[in-house]
């Protein structure tokens, strides 16, 4: 997997890119718990990756958590 650019234009750390990809795949397969765990790792390491917040919004059940994640997407994009 190649490095992906994020908000600041800097390449994303390889580990973060893998967690983001794996989290998106897990969510796509319906494994919300695994997706949430992986995506929370990403945003805890780098809060400025809008894609991570967007995927995370689909991996959480609480409406307040969803709102927070989506507000972060809007703030970063």
64 vs 5 pLDDT, higher one: 64
**Confidence class for position 9, pLDDT limits 50, 70, 90:** low
Is 64 inside any structural domain?
Answer: yes
In total, how many domains does the chain have?
Answer: 1
Whichever domain contains 21, its CATH number is 1.25.40.10
How much is the pLDDT for 1?
A: 36
Is the torsion defined by CA of 15, 18, 24, 30 positive or negative?
negative
Is 1 inside any structural domain?
Answer: no
**In terms of residue numbers, what domain contains 63?**
14-76
Residue 10 in this model has a pLDDT that exceeds 60 = yes
Segment 45-70 mean pLDDT? 97
Is 68 inside any structural domain?
Answer: yes
Is 31 inside any structural domain?
Answer: yes
Residue with tokens 């997706």: 35
Q: What is the distance between the alpha carbons of residues 48 and 28, in angstroms, rounded to a whole number?
A: 22
């Amino acid at each position: 997997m190649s490095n992906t650019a994020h908000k600041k234009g800097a390449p994303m750390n390889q580990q973060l890119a893998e967690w983001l990809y794996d989290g998106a795949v897990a969510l796509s397969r319906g494994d919300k718990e695994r997706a949430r765990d992986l995506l929370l790792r990403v945003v805890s390491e780098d809060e400025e990756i809008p894609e991570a917040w967007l995927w995370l919004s689909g991996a959480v059940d609480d409406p307040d958590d969803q709102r927070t994640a989506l507000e972060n997407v809007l703030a970063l994009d």
